[in-house]
Chain A
Amino acid sequence: MVYFPTDMESKTAVVDEGKVMASPSKEMLLDWYRQMVLIREFEETCHQLYEEKRITGVYLHLYSGHEASGVGSMAALRKTDHVITAYRDHGIALILGMDPKAVMAEMMGKKTGSSGGKGGSMHLASKDHNFWGGYAIVGGHLPLAAGIALEARYRDKDDVTMTYVGDGATNNGYFHESLNMSAIWDLPVIWIIENNGYGMGTEVERASGQIELHRKAEAYGIKSFGRVDAQNALDVYAVAAKAVEYARTNGPAVIEHVTYRYRGHGVSDKQYDARDDMSTELKEWMKTREPIKILRDCIESKYGDVGDILAKHRDDAQRIVAESVAFAEASALPSSYEDLLGNTYVASELVYKTDYSIGAGID
């Protein structure tokens, strides 16, 4: 069976023009294109580097194919909003504006990496960008998202926390508990289910009793904004903009992004080589649902020939990624005990002014 949902609500999920947010401008669309080609170039380069053993380790989950999901949805955020995700986090980091050099250096475990080489591919984060990280335990970041959103509620701010969660995680306890908690506390979280058809190697329909994943929101009394064709950045944006505005004042929202991963679950995934149906399916998605092409077609149909600008973005992406690789490879690996042991704890700044020993007084 080829995974290719045909019952998406994308055509009905149009933004109320003017009411919620204006249609994306030409500049916005061109910038989305810039982001998407940068991600694709970065991810395909990572893939290549892994093949060449210049990136090592066992975990490398690429965002190729998912680009429109992150780009379209985060375009609905403002700078003070928060973002958190799981381990397929490179694209999210780049969209938020993290330095590709620091991200690539983290892939290679270098001291100049965004996490000093301690986190690797799955643990990118940037406090400066309100990016609270990539997390490696399926669903483990979901209650963290609730806690981050609680801070906004606690201090009466209307910042939202955009939380990406894979289809597989919707079956674990973290998902249930975190969504339920967000509902009873009216937490401003947008739970974006990135449904790429597989939780690791298991098809959604073999893993979840409810295969329309956004409908799980109903169980918690959370507003669902439906299922979106997440290969189309404009559709993604239109729905995200509505959900973000809703979450700011009301509470949690759920959106299901139907998307596809081009490089399997991660670098250890050999199913696309082993299974004909999966490689057929992959080709079908790449041929007909390619997110960068869909965006490009949209831009060109609206604004005519912008080929020069798009070509420049592609050239820039190649240059930026090449520079990031050069930077990362030239950087030092952490190697000392100081590097190993640092930042396990915060050094205590407490002042102990009293005699802490009660000595024999207790006896």
Chain B
Amino acid sequence: MAARNVAMREAIRRALREEMHRDENVFVMGEEVAYWQGTHRVTRGFLEEFGERRVRDTPISEMAIGGAAVGAAMAGLRPVAEFMTINFAFLALDAIANHAAKVRYFFDGMFKVPLVYRAASGWGNQATASHSHAPEPIFAHFPGLYVGCPSNSLDAYGMLKASIRDDNPVLFTESIALYPKPSPMPEDLDEDYLIPIGKGDIKREGSDVTLVAYARGVDWALQAARQLARDGVEAEVLDLRWLRPLDMELVYKSFKKTNRCVIVEESLPMYSFGGEVAANLQENMFDYMDAPIKRVAAEDVPLPYSKDIELLALPNAQKVVDAVKEIL
């Protein structure tokens, strides 16, 4: 199948635009999504194409954005609400965690909440501490909500489409560092290309060690795998894609083969994706474990401004390689 490299930003934009054409109930709301053309240019051209009714600039009111999306979804619309960055979603944590995630449950199934919160996420670019996070695991804490975190353009396309079409609330994060990154998408891609919610993916096959990652962590894991291959170590790279539901079955299958695991994530190390995956592994795969499970995450510190120490705080491929070598 012929493929073309597409930046993740464009893949997301295309998925969203197609879904708005497909379903009149889908609309976008958020800060600067309309006249400004989207802070990250994901909604570029949407205002002209769909008009003010369906492309709604909001005030800087994250609590209202978070909650109005819940009400609109309960009433039958399918809002795609954008948080300019996930940092600002903290202001809406009550609406997300207490209402989007729980309304269906505490009314015992009376309402559906088919919404998507999109949020740009990630560390770096000297954005400094309060704008530089990958805190998506916080949101994965809450049953009732799904959390999707794509690592590449095609996944982003299929995952966002599934998120919009699914009847449950989804927090969908988009790594800022991956927005401009091109990756292959088939030229004759089906508009119904959906990636199942909760299904991870094997991004590279190998038999010596399992690298478990999501979003930007997949990049570091793949770079590390290439580096390790030069030393004759074949790493299997798993992209779990979703933090909730978490595709542990995929991890178990790989781990039974490799018996070793390093978890790679952009997020902070405590109460984290890495901790969750490792806990599940030791509970369920104890007999297959040949070495301690290692975690590579951001350093346990807020992110500083100055370039060199900022980079020091971030995970990278070398840190992954070093972790693998410790357990081989």
The chain A residues found within 8 Å of chain B, CB to CB, are 82, 84, 115-119, 123, 125-127, 132-133, 135, 137, 140-152, 154, 173-174, 177-178, 180-181, 184-185, 342-346, 348-354, 356-363
Contact = CB atoms under 8 A, between A and B. Distances in A.
Contact of B193 (A127, A146, A354): A354
B61 A181 contact: yes
A103 B109 CA distance: 16
Interface in B61-111: 61-77, 79, 94-95, 98-99, 103-111
A52 to B, nearest CB: 26
B192 A342 contact: no
B68 A144 contact: yes
B199 A356 contact: yes
Contacts of A133: 103, 107
Interface stretch (B121-129, B152-160, B278-286, B315-323): B152-160
Interface residues of B, number: 71
Nearest to B195: A356
A352 B205 CA distance: 24
Nearest to A358: B154
A360 B204 contact: yes
Contacts of B64: 143, 146, 174, 177-178, 180-181
A115 B106 contact: yes
B180 interface: no
A154 B201 contact: no
B201 A357 contact: yes
Contacts of A144: 67-68, 70-71, 74, 99
A362 B94 contact: no
B77 A151 contact: yes
Contacts of A353: 190, 192, 194
Given A144-B99, A361-B3, 5 more contacts: A143-B64, A148-B74, A177-B62, A185-B56, A361-B184
B59 A177 contact: yes
Contacts of B151: 362
Contact of B111 (A117, A127, A143, A342): A127
B227 interface: no
A82 B53 CA distance: 21
B77 A362 contact: no
Nearest to A345: B168
Given A352-B194, A356-B158, A357-B201, A147 B71 contact: yes
A137 B107 contact: no
Contacts of A356: 158, 194-196, 199, 201
The winner among B61, B167, B205 for most chain A CB atoms within 10 A is B61
A362 B237 CA distance: 11
B58 interface: yes
B144 interface: yes
A116 B109 CA distance: 9
A115 B203 contact: no
Contacts, number: 195
A240 B68 CA distance: 24
B158 to A, nearest CB: 7
B220 to A, nearest CB: 13
Nearest to B76: A151
Contacts of A344: 104-105, 143-144
A178 B201 contact: no
B106 A359 contact: no
The winner among A127, A146, A149 for most chain B CB atoms within 10 A is A146
B40 interface: no
A145 B68 CA distance: 7
A127 B104 contact: no
The winner among A135, A145, A343, A358 for most chain B CB atoms within 10 A is A358
Contact of B98 (A140, A149, A348): A140
Nearest to A156: B53
B207 interface: no
B112 A346 contact: yes
A344 to B, nearest CB: 5
B282 to A, nearest CB: 25
Interface string B123-150: 0000000000000000000011010000
B107 A140 contact: no
A361 B56 CA distance: 37
Contacts of B143: 344
A132 B205 CA distance: 49
The winner among B27, B110, B193, B203 for most chain A CB atoms within 10 A is B110
A76 B225 CA distance: 68
Interface in B246-285: none
Contacts of A181: 58-59, 61, 64, 68
A68 B291 CA distance: 69
A276 B56 CA distance: 52
Given A184-B59, A353-B192, A125 B67 contact: no
Given A125-B110, A143-B70, A359 B201 contact: yes
